[in-house]
Amino acid sequence: MKKILAIMILMTALATGASAQDYRYEVGAMLGTSGYLGDVNGSNVMRNPGISGGFLFRYLIDHRWSLKANLYTAGISGNSADEKNQFPDGATYKFKSQLYGAGAQMEFNFFNFGVGETYKKLSRISPYLTLGLGLTVAGGDGGNSVAVNLPMGVGVKYKLKERVNLGLEFTMHKVLGDKIDGLSDLYGVKSSFGKNTDWYSMITFSVTYEFSKRCRVCHYVE
């Protein structure tokens, strides 16, 4: 009798462990800090940190891959007085801008991220890489500008509960333009893909929630 009871308890535990559901989508918010590299800051991206925040949405392709869309804002600033480089005629420049961005990024998890079936070797924590395409609108001391940006970064995800995730991400955005700081061609060198383009960074902490269960008919789910 005791053996039968032990087997029933074990089967119940295994069934409970395997009952975790996979979900299609994930939505959440992020908050963190932002930085800038450009005409008046050529080396330290966190020299004049600002505040960043926004919202994100993920389509969960599988346990390794996801597609993320985000909307965010970030503050950046700079002062040439902090630089060792001298501008023509000894001129000095400083600025403050507010960025508004939207983008889409592919994410690759190093581990099978999730909880549930043990045969899938799922992990509650996983580092990941991200790469995508976005649009940045800047408004500040030097006027307004719009430019395409290329976000690239690294992060780590942690599954706090079955449907609740925590994330920490560092992303650099290469802006295909030279005016998010309101300054352009200060050395008289025309901007190009590899020269004089601005960058901005974001370090964000996120909390997300998964929803919309996947179809679990027959063997559709791996």
173 in Cβ contact with 134 (< 8 Å): yes
Spell out the domains of the chain, with CATH numbers in brackets. Answer: 2-213 (2.40.160.20)
| Confidence at residue 9, expressed as pLDDT on a 0 to 100 scale | 46
Quickly count helices (H) and strands (E) in the chain: 1, 8
The model's pTM: 0.82
pLDDT (tens digit, 9 = 90+) per residue, 113-172? 999 777 778 999 999 999 999 999 999 876 789 999 999 999 999 999 999 999 999 999
Q: Which residues contact 220 (CB under 8 A, 6 or more apart)?
A: 214
> Residue 174: which pLDDT band, with cuts at 50, 70 and 90?
very high
- The tokens for 153 are 């970064």
Q: What pLDDT, in 10s, does the model give residues 86-96? A: 666 667 788 89
| pLDDT per position as a tens digit, 75-130 | 999 887 776 666 666 677 888 999 999 999 999 999 999 997 777 789 999 999 99
Single out the residue of 66, 120, 74 nearest to residue 98, CA to CA: 74
**Is the Cβ–Cβ distance between 173 and 128 less than 8 Å?**
no
pLDDT digits 0-9 by tens, 4-48 = 445 444 444 444 344 456 899 999 999 999 999 987 887 788 889
**pLDDT per residue as tens digits for the range 187-218:** 555 555 555 579 999 999 999 999 999 876 54
